[in-house]
Amino acid sequence: MTSHAARAGRAAALLAAAGLACGGCSLLPRTAASPPASTSARPAATASPPPAAAATSLASLLPFPPARLQAAASLAGRFTAAWDSWSWQQPPAAWLARLRPMTAASLEPALAQAAGDRGVLTQRTAARQTARATVTALQVRDLTPASVTVTVTAVQVITSSSGTSRSSAGWAVTLAPEGSGWLVWDIEPAGAGNS
């Protein structure tokens, strides 16, 4: 029974986080207008908690306050947009400098390796490529007391000497709490990991 209660609690927390990630989405189903008041003085056999009380009880199951989870989702979006935006004219150190304030120290070596990939840099320079990414969706995918994973959907527009291309991709961005804020701990294609 304890295992069932724990799973139910985690499911409720994830539902609350998912609702939180979509902005003003309500976690509770919309109800039809209330039925007309009864002339009977008897109270109803069971009373449902008011929606605000239900939302408050769901929020109490989360390992972080809703505002802090919103901050994590926002950082995941900013990081992904910066990570997926680059220019053939920009030195790798400038790209890294944009990401560093948002990044956990453990991720920096992988970012430095990606920034210095000679094959990629040569291809970008030869085609005079510049990429600009825009985040179109954020969704909390996993939530623990030690981390939150946000699925970020981004549209990337690449302009080059041969024209313009547009693509959409999903990224799983895992963030770890750091003081009162967050740092990005990992980024992978959404279908590959961070679950």
**pLDDT of 112-142, one tens digit each?**
999 989 999 999 999 999 999 999 999 999 9
Q: pLDDT > 90: what percent of the chain? A: 62
User: Confidence class of residue 175 from pLDDT cuts 50, 70 and 90?
Assistant: very high
Handedness of CA 9, 20, 30, 51 (dihedral sign): positive
**Region class of 149: left (phi > 0), else alpha (psi between -120 and 50), else beta:** beta
pTM: 0.69
Q: What percent of the chain has pLDDT over 70?
A: 68
Tokens of 178: 């750091």
Domains present along the chain, CATH in parentheses: 66-189 (3.10.450.230)
In the block, residue with structure tokens 């970012």 = 111
- Directed axis angle between helix 66-83 and helix 2-21, to 10°? 60
How many CA atoms within 13 Å lie on the side-chain side of 51?
6
Coil/strand/helix, residue 44: coil
Selected residue with higher pLDDT from 129 and 1: 129
Mean pLDDT to the nearest integer, 99-108: 96
